[in-house]
Amino acid sequence: MDTTQWPLTYRRDCPSRTVVEVLADKWTLYVLAALRRQEGPMRFNELRRALDGITQKMLTRTLRALERDGLVSRTVYPTVPPRVEYALTGLGAEAGKLTTAIAEWSAAHVPEILATRAEFDARAAAAPRPVT
């Protein structure tokens, strides 16, 4: 891999930034993780029930972005009413590995992070001390 090009990934005009922005979205991480955990297609309402707190509008927006980027496939079955299923593509399954790694790291370190937050908040809430 040519690492001389890496500094360009931080530039505003680098196409990889748009991909990182999609993957860095909170709901994108959760949708990819839900589809990966399911190990098969899911219907819209299944996803909505699995993702506590997501609105219908946000789920629709997230699924469209993931479909546009080739991470999720959308299959419409010609039934009445139409049945629509979402599944990870090969590219989405690969990206899903990243979300799993983030989730595992988060679960392993949440006690440490919560303790550090509490210490920080306690210091911030304390009365300011005079400078000596």
pLDDT tens digits in sequence order for the chain, 132 residues long: 555 666 667 778 888 888 888 888 889 999 999 999 887 899 999 999 999 999 999 999 999 999 999 999 999 999 998 899 999 999 999 998 888 888 899 999 999 999 999 999 998 888 777 787
Does pTM surpass 0.75?
A: yes
Fold that domain 3-125 belongs to in CATH? Arc Repressor Mutant, subunit A (1.10.10)
Angstrom distance (rounded) from CA 93 to CA 96: 5
- Grouping H, G, I as helix, E, B as strand and the rest as coil, residue 132 is coil
